Structure 1
Amino acid sequence: MNQLPKLEENDRIPIYVQLSDHIKKEIIQRELAEHSKLPSVRKLAEMLGISTTPVEWAYQQLIAEGYVYSQPRRGYRVRPMMDRYSKIQVPMRTGHENMVIHEQHYHNHSKIERNAIRPTRVVEFDFHMSRNDFSLFPFGKWQQYANRIWREEAEELLFYGDPQGEWGLRCEIAHYLGQFRGVNCSPEQIVIGAEQHLLMSLLVQTLLHLDGLQSIAVENPGYRLLPGTFRNYGYPIVPIPLDDEGLDILELNRVGVKLVGVSPSHQFPLGTTMPIARRMALLDWAERMGAYIIEDDYDGEFRYHGRPIPSMQGLREGSRVIYMGGFSQVLAPALCIHYMVLPKELMGSFREMYKTILFEQSASRLHQRTLEMFMHEGELGKHIRKVRNVYKRKHDLIIQAIRQYFGEKVEIIGQNAGFHLVLRMGSTQTAAELVAAALSAGIQISSAEYLWTDGSGPADGKREFIIGFAGMESERIGPGIAALAKAWRDL
C-alpha cells in the first residue's frame, strides 16, 4: 500500500468503508500492481492503529466486489484490472459531504419537481378532471380499522398474499358490485391490483392465445391507457367513432375485431351513457363473433340525476365482458386498489399465465384488509351516498356558472355523472393556446385533443376542454369559471 488512508473515527462513514474505498482508488489508479500483496489484517490494523475487525470487513468487501482475491498462505492480493476499469468512479464519502448532498436534495426539490413526468403545478383554480374532494375522506374510520388490522395481523400482513388479491376483499367486492353495479360474479373471478395498467397488462397476457385476437377496437376519443397498453404489446389499435349513443356498432361489425374496450355507463371523456338497446347489441356482437368486451366502469357510482346505470356485464348471464373498476374515485387514488372481473372461461388462462410469471400481489395487504373491514361494516355505502350528494351540488353549481359566464358560446357535454364536464366551443385559437391562457390566469384545465387517436380533435374543428369539479371547493367554482371566461375573452 503506497499511502495510508486518513481515517475519521467520528465520521458518519464506517471505518471499513473508508478503508475499502481508499484501497479501491489505489487499485483503479494502478498505484497497486496486479497480484501485489496487501498487508495482512493484523499488520494493517497495527499500522492504522485500529482493531482488526474493520480491516477484515474492508478486505471482505474488496473480495466481494472483485478488486482483491485471497489464497491460502499467500494472503490478500490485487486482481488484474482491465483498461476500462480506470473509468470507475470511487465516491469520496465523508459525513460532511453527505450532509451537504442531503441538504442540496431538499433545496433543489422544486427543480426536481419541474423535471418530473407529471409536474406539480400550484394554481388558484384547479379544475383537475378526476380529483376527489379529500376533505370527505373518512379519516377516522379508516384509521380505526387500519390500526385494528395492524394490531391483530401485523406479522402475517408483512408476507406475500394471494397474487389474485386478498380473499376477504374479493368477497366484499363481489357483494358490492352485485348490490351497487349489477355485476354478476363470484370472488374467484376477481383480480385485485395496485394500478389499472398492471391489471391491463395481466389481461393482455391472459388473452395472448385467444383465437383471432390480432387487434383491439377502442372508443375514439377515449381513455389512452387501454389502447396504449395493448399497443405496447404489439396489437394494432382500431379507433371506432362515437355517436349520440356511444360506440358505433356498424363500424365495429365492419372492422372484424375480437376485442373492444368501452366505457358505457359514463364514456370518457364525452360522458355519453350507452342506452340499453346499444348495450344489448354490443353483447350480441360479442356472442356472435366469439369476442370479448372490456367494460371500464371507472366512475359508474356517480350519477346525479336518477339512479346509477347498472353495468353491462350483468345484463346477461355468462356475458363475454371483462369488467374493470377500482376505488380511486370512490375513496382515493393513493390507496392503489383496482380490480378486474374475468369471465369464468378465462380463469383457466389467467392461472396458466400466472404459472409462467409467478407475479406477487401488488396492492398493499394492509390497505386491502382495511378496505375489506370498511366495506363489511357498511361504511363504503354510507361514504358513497355522502360524496354523491356533495358532488351533485358541485355539478349543478358548475353548470350554473358556465351558463352564467359563457352563455351560448359553449356547449356543455357529459352532464349528470362523473367528476368532469366537457366544454365545446368554436375558436380561432388553438386548444394549446387556450390552455396556456388559462394557466397564465392561474387556472388548470385540460384539452381533450390528446384523447383522440390521431390527436386531431372533432371533425368540425371545435375545441373541447375537460373541466373537473369534484375536487374544487364549492365556493370557488363560480369565481374559477368567471376567471376562465375572462382569460379567454381577453385573448
Structure 2
Amino acid sequence: MQLPLSIDHSSSATLQSQIAAQLRTLIREHRIAPGSAVPASRDLGRQLRVSRNTVTAAYDELVSEGYLHTRKAVGTFVCTTLPDTLISGAPARPAFRSGSLHRAMNLPLPYGGRGVSGLHRPSSPDLVADFVFGRADPRAFPEKIWRKLIVECLGGAAERMSIYGDPAGLQSLRQLITSRLGPAHGMVASVEQVLLVAGFQQGIDLVAHLFVGTHTPVVMEAPAYRGAAFLFESYGAQIIPVPVDQHGIDVSRLPEGRVKLVYVTPSHQFPTGVTMPLHRRLALLEWAARTGAYILEVDYDGDYRYDGAPLPSLQSLDRNGCVIYLNAFSRSMGPGLRIGYMVVPRDLMRTAVVVKSLMDNGLAWLEQAALAQFLRDGSFDTHLRRLRQAHEARRNALVGALRSRLAGALVTGTAAGTHVLVRLPDDAPDAATLQQSARALGVGVYPLADSPVWFHEQLPGHERCLMLGYAHLAETQIESGVERLAQAVNAAG
C-alpha cells in the first residue's frame, strides 16, 4: 500500500512534521479509512526515501494526538474515533424536503423500548423469598465504617468539592486498585492504564464509543448480558453471536474475518455461570492476536468463586495489548455505589480518557475518596471476605434445597457468582406458569426470558429455565422459598 505523500526538501518544516501533517490530512479527509492499517515504518521510509526513524517519529506524533494507535507485533492503525470527531461533536442535522419533514420527525426512536429489563425491579416485602437477580444484601453494607470515612474525607474537602476532577478518576484510588486489587484479580497494569467509570454499563458504553459504528462487526457470546448487546446495537453494530459451551465462548466458531471487538465474561459467564478454563483463554488470545481484534473482558462476579482456585485474567495473559478489562464495585459494595474500573491498553488510554470526558466530568469525588480509604486501611478485604463466606453459605443452602425438594431439576452455574440457573423437570410446568403460581405462595422466581439475558436465537429448553439470585436472602428464606416453590410444582403436577 502506497500513500500519496511527498517530501519537500526545500521546506523549512522538518521531514517528520511534513509526514505527520500530510498523514493527518489524509486521515481527517477519510482518504485513509478509520481502522485501516498504515504502512510499516520501514516501507514508508523506503517510499519517501527517508529514514525509518523519521517515519516512526511521525507515527508517534499522530499516536499522541489520537489519530493512530499501535498494536504490538501487529502494526499501526488509524483510530476508529478521531480527535476531530470528538471535539466537533455530532454531524450537522440533515436538511429535509418540506414534504418529508413531518413524516421523518414522527419516525420511532431507535431502541426506545429495549432497555435492560430485569435489573430495576422494586422490592417485594410481601414475599417470603424473592429470588430476584442482581440485588445485594443491605444488611451486609458496612454502614458505620462508610459513614466514618465520608465524614473524614469531608474534612478540608471544600477545595476538592469546588473543582472538576480528572476524567480518568481519582489518582489515589486508581493507584490502590492496581496495588491492592490487581494481584487478586490477576491484573497486570500501571496506574496510567486504570480508568474509573460509573459501573459496568458505562464501561461497556465507553468501549462501544471507541470501536463501534454502523455495521461494525462485534462478536457476542450467546447467550449474554442484554445490556451489552442492546448497547452495541444502538451504535449500529453488526452482532455476530458465538455459542457458549461448558467452557465459555466456543473459540473454534469465531470468525476469521475482520472483527473489531469480542465481548466475553470468562470468570462467570452470564447467564450460564460457566468458567472459561486456561486452555480456552489462551486460544481466545491467540485468535485475537491473529485477527487483530480487541477483547472486552468483563470480570463479572470474579470475586465470588467457591470451587477451585481463581484463574488468571485474560488481561494478565495478554502479550499483544488486545484486552480491555472491566470490573465494578457494584458486585461487592452494592449497585448504589456507581464506581467501576477498566484496565486499558496503553495505546488506547489517551483516547479512552477523551471519550470518558465526553460522558461525564469525572465521578463524584467524595465517594472516590471514601472508597480509596476503604481499600487503603484493609476494610475492603475484610468486607469482601465476609461477603464471600456468606454467599457461599447461601449458595450451599440453595443448591441443597433444590436437590432435595426438586428432584429432576438441573442446577448449573454453582461454582461462582450470586445466581444459579435451574432447568425444571420435564413433568413440571413451564417457567412462566410456575412464576405465577409460586408468587401466589409468596415466592418470587424469574424465567430466563424475564431476566436481563440476550438470546440471538431461543435456546432449546429456555422456556423451562429459571434464574434464581440469592445474594440478598438469608439461608432460612432460601430454604422456605424453595419449599414453597416445590409446592407450586407439585400442585401443578
Let me know the Cα RMSD of the aligned residues.
Answer: 2.3
CA-CA distance at 1:352 after TM superposition = 4.7
- For residues 343-389 of structure 1, the C-alpha deviation after alignment (integer angstroms, 9 at most, x for no partner) is 1121133245467x37411x321111000001011111111111111
SS at match of 1:330: helix
Q: What CA distance in whole angstroms lies between the structure 2 residues aligned with 1:386 and 1:379?
A: 11
Does the C-alpha gap of structure 1 residues 326 and 454 become closer, same or farther in structure 2, counting only changes over 3 Å? closer
Which residue number in structure 2 is paired with residue 137 of structure 1? 141
Indicate which of 178, 186, 193 corresponds to 1:189. Answer: 193
- For residues 202-232 of structure 1, the C-alpha deviation after alignment (integer angstroms, 9 at most, x for no partner) is 22222258xx981211111111111111111
Q: What CA distance in whole angstroms lies between the structure 1 residues aligned with 2:445 and 2:180?
A: 33
Which residue type is aligned with residue 345 of structure 1? D
Give the aligned length: 371
Q: What CA distance in whole angstroms lies between the structure 2 residues aligned with 1:178 and 1:479?
A: 39
Does the C-alpha gap of structure 1 residues 351 and 208 become closer, same or farther in structure 2, counting only changes over 3 Å? farther
* Aligned: 1:238 with 2:237: no
Which residue number in structure 2 is paired with residue 148 of structure 1? 152
Does the C-alpha gap of structure 1 residues 442 and 248 become closer, same or farther in structure 2, counting only changes over 3 Å? same
Does the C-alpha gap of structure 1 residues 358 and 434 become closer, same or farther in structure 2, counting only changes over 3 Å? closer
Q: What CA distance in whole angstroms lies between the structure 1 residues aligned with 2:212 and 2:469?
A: 37
Which residue number in structure 1 is paired with residue 219 of structure 2? 217
CA-CA distance at 1:452 after TM superposition = 5.5
Which residue number in structure 1 is paired with residue 369 of structure 2? 369
Which residue number in structure 1 is paired with residue 19 of structure 2? none
CA-CA distance at 1:433 after TM superposition = 1.9
CA contact (8 A) 1:207 1:349 kept: no
- Using the aligned pairs only, state the percent identity: 33
Which residue number in structure 2 is paired with residue 302 of structure 1? 304
CA contact (8 A) 2:220 2:229 kept: yes
CA-CA distance at 1:485 after TM superposition = 1.1
Which residue number in structure 1 is paired with residue 46 of structure 2? none
CA-CA distance at 1:393 after TM superposition = 1.0
* Aligned: 1:433 with 2:433: yes
Counterparts of 1:204-283 in structure 2, within 5 Å, are 204-208=208-212, 214-253=216-255, 256-283=258-285
Which residue number in structure 2 is paired with residue 412 of structure 1? 411
Q: What CA distance in whole angstroms lies between the structure 1 residues aligned with 2:340 and 2:182?
A: 17
CA contact (8 A) 2:438 2:444 kept: yes
CA-CA distance at 1:299 after TM superposition = 1.1
Which residue type is aligned with residue 153 of structure 1? A
Q: What CA distance in whole angstroms lies between the structure 2 residues aligned with 1:465 and 1:274?
A: 22
Which residue number in structure 2 is paired with residue 338 of structure 1? 340
Q: What CA distance in whole angstroms lies between the structure 1 residues aligned with 2:355 and 2:383?
A: 36
Which residue number in structure 1 is paired with residue 202 of structure 2? 198
Q: What CA distance in whole angstroms lies between the structure 1 residues aligned with 2:257 and 2:272?
A: 23
Which residue type is aligned with residue 360 of structure 1? N
Q: What CA distance in whole angstroms lies between the structure 2 residues aligned with 1:130 and 1:265?
A: 17
Q: What CA distance in whole angstroms lies between the structure 2 residues aligned with 1:460 and 1:257?
A: 31
Q: What CA distance in whole angstroms lies between the structure 2 residues aligned with 1:256 and 1:462?
A: 35
CA contact (8 A) 1:395 1:416 kept: no
- For residues 291-328 of structure 1, the C-alpha deviation after alignment (integer angstroms, 9 at most, x for no partner) is 11111112101111233333221123444111110111
* Aligned: 1:470 with 2:471: yes
Q: What CA distance in whole angstroms lies between the structure 1 residues aligned with 2:227 and 2:266?
A: 16
SS at match of 1:333: coil
Which residue type is aligned with residue 244 of structure 1? Q
Q: What CA distance in whole angstroms lies between the structure 1 residues aligned with 2:377 and 2:393?
A: 27
Which residue type is aligned with residue 422 of structure 1? L
- For residues 17-54 of structure 1, the C-alpha deviation after alignment (integer angstroms, 9 at most, x for no partner) is xxxxxxxxxxxxxxxxxxxxxxxxxxxxxxxxxxxxxx
Indicate which of 121, 125, 135 corresponds to 2:124. Answer: 121
Does the C-alpha gap of structure 1 residues 466 and 345 become closer, same or farther in structure 2, counting only changes over 3 Å? same
* Aligned: 1:166 with 2:157: no
CA-CA distance at 1:154 after TM superposition = 3.7
Which residue number in structure 2 is paired with residue 311 of structure 1? 313
Which residue number in structure 1 is paired with residue 447 of structure 2? 447
CA contact (8 A) 1:258 1:289 kept: no
CA-CA distance at 1:253 after TM superposition = 2.8
Where structure 2 has 5 or more consecutive residues not aligned to the other structure, the ranges are: 1-118
Q: What CA distance in whole angstroms lies between the structure 2 residues aligned with 1:165 and 1:139?
A: 24
SS at match of 2:332: coil
SS at match of 2:196: strand
Does the C-alpha gap of structure 1 residues 195 and 397 become closer, same or farther in structure 2, counting only changes over 3 Å? same
SS at match of 2:275: coil
Which residue type is aligned with residue 400 of structure 1? G
* Aligned: 1:400 with 2:400: yes
Which residue number in structure 1 is paired with residue 102 of structure 2? none
TM-score by length of 2: 0.71
CA contact (8 A) 1:283 1:319 kept: no
Which residue number in structure 1 is paired with residue 485 of structure 2? 484
Which residue type is aligned with residue 375 of structure 2? M
SS at match of 1:238: strand
SS at match of 2:220: strand
Does the C-alpha gap of structure 1 residues 213 and 235 become closer, same or farther in structure 2, counting only changes over 3 Å? closer
TM-score by length of 1: 0.71
* Aligned: 1:175 with 2:176: no
Which residue type is aligned with residue 173 of structure 1? I
SS at match of 2:467: strand
SS at match of 1:335: coil
- Which deviates further from its counterpart, 152-161 or 418-427? 152-161
CA contact (8 A) 1:192 1:340 kept: yes
Does the C-alpha gap of structure 1 residues 178 and 195 become closer, same or farther in structure 2, counting only changes over 3 Å? closer
Which residue number in structure 2 is paired with residue 421 of structure 1? 420
CA-CA distance at 1:458 after TM superposition = 2.4
Which residue type is aligned with residue 172 of structure 2? G
Q: What CA distance in whole angstroms lies between the structure 2 residues aligned with 1:329 and 1:465?
A: 21
Q: What CA distance in whole angstroms lies between the structure 1 residues aligned with 2:261 and 2:382?
A: 36
- Which deviates further from its counterpart, 397-406 or 341-350? 341-350
SS at match of 2:225: coil
Q: What CA distance in whole angstroms lies between the structure 1 residues aligned with 2:335 and 2:267?
A: 20
* Aligned: 1:360 with 2:337: no
